[in-house]
Amino acid sequence: MSGLSGPQAQRGPYPSLLLLFLLGPSSNLTISFHLPVNSHKCLHKEIHKDLLVTSAYEITDQSGGAGGLHTHLKITDSAGHTLYSKENATEGKSAFTTEDDMFEVCFESKGTGRIPDQLMILHMKHGVEAKNYEEIAKGEKLKPLEVELWRPEDLSEAIVNNFAYMKKREGEMHDTNESTNARVLYFSIFSMFCLIGPATWQVFYLRRFFKAKKLME
């Protein structure tokens, strides 16, 4: 994805690319991008609370080990809790349960010299897609038919939760819209008084001035 490419930056207040992909009908996501050396990029995901999320990542080092290139992967939620962290990440998997409505996946590359960009590949699943029904069947000693009945039940529950979440967000956006409209109204009234007040004062001042100069009765 060319839109993810960002400027190379030295250690300091380098800009982070914030990619926000809202919760949609698909719970299976695959994304790839190139990460320049000494840069930092983050992906933000808005999601339900108490939802299982699994991810698999692969980092392709095209430098051949030159320049002491290291990549740090860190997943945190909006409350600052670390859900997953890996130094010198190359490939691996992670699984966690969300505690907040949003989490962030950050990649940071460190190295020296002229090093080619690294290719980041990230696969993420959440909800029903993230569940391993084969492992559940083994643990619960379920029959294949019971597993097949369990899957649509989870899917139906996920759809209901999605609608509840969307309704909640709609209510929050409605409240924000109402609050913004009220503030705009109060600001408009205040601005009107600010314009009418000086204009009225100016009229009375000019009237007194002209009377003092005997230019008007």
Higher pLDDT, 136 or 164: 164
Structure tokens at 107: 């990649």
Would you say residue 75 has pLDDT above 80?
Answer: yes
Would you say residue 214 has pLDDT above 80?
Answer: no
Higher pLDDT, 191 or 11: 191
The structural domains of the chain, with segments of one domain joined by +, span: 2-130
Q: Residue 85 forms beta bridges with which residues?
A: 74
Domain covering 2-130: architecture: Sandwich (2.60)
Which amino acid makes up residue 164?
A: A
Q: Any idea which residue has 């002209």 for tokens?
A: 210
Would you say residue 24 has pLDDT above 60?
Answer: no
Write the DSSP symbol of residue 127.
G
Q: Any idea which residue has 């670390």 for tokens?
A: 82
pLDDT (0 to 100) of residue 96: 85
Say how far apart CA 130 and CA 127 lie, in whole Å: 5
pLDDT-wise least confident of 11-15, 90-94, 189-193: 11-15
